[in-house]
Structure 1
Amino acid sequence: MNKSMKRTVATMMIAGMTVSGAAGAFAGTNMEKISAFLNHSIGFKINGSTYIPKDENGNKLSPITYHDTTYLPVRALSNALNTPIQYDSKTNTIYIGTSTTDQWVLTNYTAAQLDQIVKAFAGFDGFEDAYAPQMMIKGDALQKAEATSDGVNLLFTNMTVNVSPRDYSHDYDGTNVTLSNGATAKWYNVSGKDMLTVKVDDRYVTVSSPNGKLNKSQVEKAAASVTKVGVAQTDLVKVLYTAAQLDELKKAFAGFVGFEAAYAPQMMVKGDVLKKTAATEDGVNIIFENMTVNVSPRDYSSKYEGTKVTLSNGATAKWYTVNGTDMLTLKVDDRYVTLSSPNANLTHARLEKVAVTVAKVGAVQSDLAKVTYTTVQTNAIKDEFAKFDGFETAYAPTLMTKNDAFQKVAGGDSVNFLFKHMNVQISPRDYSVGYDSTAVTLPNGVKAKWFTPSKTAMLSFQIDDRYVTISSADNSLTKAQIEQVATGIARLK
């Protein structure tokens, strides 16, 4: 249908529309009784094809003739004309085309939903990349993602999105349309249900609204937003704090008695940048270009209703909304961390990925040196590990404080690395068992615990199939420094 004809019909629709639910709003005050005729003799042709208007139950609708003017059934024609029609009962306003009630939001898949989507696609050889819509009507929600024999179904409350190597529209007559992103799509009908298929990269995407809540225009907008997800949404890079930024972090936390240790995210979305760190009355704000991370002894989420989620490290967190901004709060050691994206550039999934990397940091990040072993030392380390049956693979510390130095390696019921200022034990045994301990999260996200036998603080954590215990016999290293050294334990090359 050309634009001028569409405008003419739309004008007729405005003149005599019958919108479901609108009559009750006007009854008794703005309704005027008239005498009109149902005109069963008028037929419809759209782009040369016969069209029969029907209501939501499939019953045939006829135009009304009143004083030589024909009034068409607007609700039935809205889909045929690809023009969304909505009625706002609060303002008694009918919207044709763009509506203030037609609000689009980012899909903001949770980490668990993304994992489900990725797993659904993973079983298809040569078709593993996950695709999903990035936009949906406000109020819609992803229910589940499931693999089929030749594709993946993403089931939302109000729409179904199928991604397949197969073009389902091929066997049906239909109408081609151009989407907002310039892609050509095809509308067709299967068993009374309107379907839209569009090719996206090497696959075909078919979108429909089984419950009829979305009109064709809305389905087209959702289809245009389908793109690759997974890798792009977890596109994180390490935050490399400068010495000045670390000093600013440390100073911001220093003013809190019993809360001095500085915490900050170790990862950020690629392209983001740290702007500043500022102390508040009850916490510290770490402000990035696309996110704000607040660390506080206070749980900001306690006063709000929200949704609990389990993060990738097993921690429980809570999503809630304050003044239109989504917030994520979780507990890290003895404090609460709240993340948000004030400019809405980061999805829930990205913020959840960043959240699990929030850990203790400090100036110690810039006073570490790399441990370089000589060939003789490397061979000696490997020999000590070879003495353990089933435990032959050699691991060693790769970081130390700048003023430290490796002395020697010794055996026993563990492999002992003796430095000038610290001892590192790698053993099949967990030495912390039987002692009171304090759990901490290392800067690399690994769970560890502090315990104190014979007045010497020791840090213990598991790496692969062994336990690592680090201490400073002369007490020259702080706990923060030892925790940083712990992140450098790795397989010896």
Structure 2
Amino acid sequence: MNKNVKRTVATMMIAGMTFSGAAGVYAGTNMQKISAFLNYSIGFKIDGSTYIPKDENGNKLAPITYHDTTYLPVRALSNALNTPIQYDSKTNTIYIGTSTTDQWVLTNYTAAQLDEIKKAFAGFDGFETAYAPQMMIKGDALQKVATTADGVNLLFKDMTVNVSPRDYSYEYDGTSVTLSNGAKAKWYTEGKTQMLTVKVDDRFVTVSSPSGKLSKSQLEKAVVSVTKVGAIQTDLVKVTYTAAQLDELKKAFANFDGFEAPYAPQMIVNGDALQKSAATADGVNLLFNNMTVNVSPRDYSSEYDGTSVTLSNGVKAKWYKPGDTQMLTVKVDDRYVTLSSPNGKLTQAQLEKVAVNVVKVGAVQTDLATVTYSAAQTKAIKDEFAKFDGFTAAYAPTKMVKDDAFQNVASGDSVNFLFKHMNVQISPRDYSVGYESTNVTLPNGVKAKWFTPSDTAMLTFQIDDRYVTISSADNSLTKAQIEQVATGVAKLK
């Protein structure tokens, strides 16, 4: 739908809220009796298709005409436009679209739940790999996992997720949609329940909200997070590279012009350890006890048939087998990372979990120090942010290079933190617009970009509703150090 049309309709929805499902919001002196007409003569077309508004029980709804203005049934229309609507009883506020109550959290499955999920899938020959959502609406929770005749049901408090080799949607008429990850999906109605089906790897995932508490857009967001269940989190440990290992890593990458930035896993399977880093003709090999990680400008997988998979971070990867060893290749920034377990001790799920954690190696941890602000400095920072209408929450760097020091804070069209060796700007404006830039992924997984407006390279990334730009005016900090500092910008307590 045309954005302007959609915006106009949304305005009409707001105008009509008191006549729809939200009528019970107002009470006492906030209610005013009126005389209006149900107008059954008005028809609706959305994107050229006839639309009949209905309530949650399937009963036909009519718009209301009052003082020559037409008021539309907001709940039904929000479903038709795939725009979520929520009511917060604590504040008597109706939210159309994204709301402050729409909070997403990671589905941190317990070991017992993971075991139950894996057992449910294990009964299917050729379909044993377990899949489950990685995100859910805050307040929801997995209740039970049940095996069906040809799939597995994950029963949450407010949604049901079915994973099956069968496409249940093909028997029904429905509406095609494109999800946020680019995948094509289909909405259809079975009985009185809206269902969404999408193909994920070699299976079909169907999500619904039998309780009706989740909107279409919320279910679309949940289904995008359905991925293969990898190693239990306790199987993975953080890698702590020694100074000598980091030095060896950096030297191995330094031989490649335009490709010098070192990349390495941040998490490995418990019990594994880095043995050696070695430069090859067109890449770098990181040799662990139980796996090999190759980082190269070349995509080795392109020469082989393979199987596409979606990793837990939503990135597409490919499994293939050039010899006797299974290999997984994924693109990370401007390079290709290939993982394998030559001794066969790591499973595919474990290698996929490690692959998600291969990122640029930043400054050596011992190079960094914690920024400690005095009470006076904290007050000065908060005062500068308070000058911005609607932008009052204060953010500040919490990391700096060891020999750096905070000097001052000032504001203009941004809040500027002046350190001895770096400047940090926090602004509602993205300063990188209009400049050529290079995209990078920070060590914490946040997307950022480098640009050079003059002689000084600057790093910009978004945090919440603002943009952070970091630079080193005296050029004493490396890009890797600035990227590491960037991961420490957070809300000031």
TM-score (norm 2): 0.58
Greater shift in the superposed pair: 358-367 or 309-318: 358-367
Residues 1:273 and 2:151 aligned together? no
Output one character per residue of 1:89-108: Cα deviation in whole Å (capped at 9) or x when no partner: xxxxxxxxxxxxxxxxxxxx
Residues 1:246 and 1:491: Cα distance change in structure 2 (over 3 Å): same
- Distance (whole Å) between structure 2 residues aligned to residue 253 and residue 247 of structure 1: 10
The one-letter code matched in structure 1 to 2:311 is L
Secondary structure in structure 1 of the residue aligned to 2:145: strand
Q: Distance in 2 between matches of 1:247 and 1:281?
A: 20
Give the whole-Å Cα distance in 2 for the aligned partners of 1:370 and 1:453.
30
User: Shift of the alpha carbon at 1:214?
Assistant: 2.8
Aligned to 2:334: 465
Say whether residues 1:215 and 2:79 are aligned partners: no
For residues 37-81 of structure 1, the C-alpha deviation after alignment (integer angstroms, 9 at most, x for no partner) is xxxxxxxxxxxxxxxxxxxxxxxxxxxxxxxxxxxxxxxxxxxxx
CA distance in 2, matches of 1:360, 1:419: 24
* Match in the other structure for 1:55: none
Amino acid paired to 2:324: K
Alignment of 1:157-306 (within 5 A): 159=12, 180-181=25-26, 213-216=63-66, 219=71, 222=74, 226-227=94-95, 229-230=97-98, 232=100, 235-306=103-174
1:375-419 alpha-carbon deviations (Å, 9 max, x no partner):
221232223223322223322101211121111211122121110
Which segments of 5 or more consecutive residues in structure 2 lack a partner in the other structure? 16-22, 34-61, 76-91, 363-493
Instruction: Determine whether 1:414 maps to 2:283.
Output: yes
Q: Which segment is superposed worse, 287-296 or 383-392?
A: 383-392
Measure how far apart 1:252 and its partner are. Answer: 0.3
Q: Residue 293 of structure 2 corresponds to which residue in structure 1?
A: 424
Q: CA shift at 1:483, angstroms?
A: 1.0
Pick 1 or 2: higher relative contact order, CA cutoff 8 A, min separation 6.
1
2:26 corresponds to which letter in structure 1?
A: N
Q: Which runs of 5+ in 1 are unaligned?
A: 1-142, 163-177, 188-211
1:344-359 counterparts in 2 under 5 A? 344-359=212-227
Q: What's the CA shift for 1:233?
A: 7.5
Residues 268 and 160 of structure 1, relative CA distance in 2, 3 Å threshold: closer
Which residue pairs with 1:439 in the alignment? Answer: 308
What secondary structure does 2:301 align onto? Answer: coil
1:91-110 correspondence runs (5 A): none
**Superposition deviation, residue 293 in structure 1:** 0.4
Change (3 A) 1:218 1:429: same
Pairs aligned (count)? 309
Q: Indicate if the aligned counterparts of 2:231 and 2:349 stay in contact, CA closer than 8 A.
A: no
- 2:322 counterpart letter in structure 1: P
Deviation at 1:437, TM superposition (A): 1.1
1:402 aligns with 2:258: no
Say yes or no: does 1:145 pair with 2:13.
no
**Structure 2 partner of 1:389:** 257
Out of 338, 341, 358, the residue aligned to residue 489 of structure 1 is 358
Tell me the amino acid that sits aligned with residue 9 of structure 2.
L
Confirm or deny: 8 A CA contact 2:63 2:73 kept in the other structure: no
Residue 38 of structure 1 aligns with which residue? Answer: none
Q: Distance in 1 between matches of 2:306 and 2:95?
A: 47
Give 1:235 deviation, angstroms. Answer: 2.7
Amino acid at match of 2:329: S
Closer, same or farther: CA 155–245 of 1 in aligned 2, 3 Å: same
What is the match of residue 114 of structure 1?
none
Asked if 1:369 corresponds to 2:237, the answer is yes
Q: Which amino acid aligns with 1:321?
A: T
- Per-residue deviation, 1:440: 1.0
State the secondary structure of the residue aligned to 1:383.
helix
Q: What's the offset of the Cα at 1:423?
A: 0.3
CA distance in 2, matches of 1:160, 1:351: 22
Q: Secondary structure at the match of 1:390?
A: coil
Q: SS at the partner of 2:188?
A: strand
Native 8 Å contact 1:438 1:449 kept in 2 = yes
Alignment match, 1:340: 208
Aligned residue number for residue 42 of structure 2: none
Computing the radius of gyration over CA atoms, which structure comes out larger, 1 or 2?
1
Q: Secondary structure at the match of 1:411?
A: strand
Aligned to 2:187: 319
Shift of 1:303: 0.7
In the alignment, residue 442 of structure 1 is paired with which amino acid? L
The separation in 2 between residues aligned to 1:368 and 1:160, in whole angstroms, is: 49
What TM-score, normalized by structure 1, do the two folds share? 0.58
AA aligned opposite 1:426? V
RMSD: 3.1
Instruction: Give the direction of change, closer, same or farther, for the CA distance of 1:398–1:308 in structure 2 (3 Å limit).
Output: same
Structure 1: how far apart are the matches of 2:238 and 2:93? 47
* 1:242-285 deviations in Å (ceiling 9; x for gaps): 11111000100010011111010111111111111111111100
Q: Map of 1:78-117 to 2, 5 A cutoff?
A: none
Question: What letter matches 2:64 in structure 1?
Answer: L
Q: 1:308 aligns with which of 159, 170, 176?
A: 176
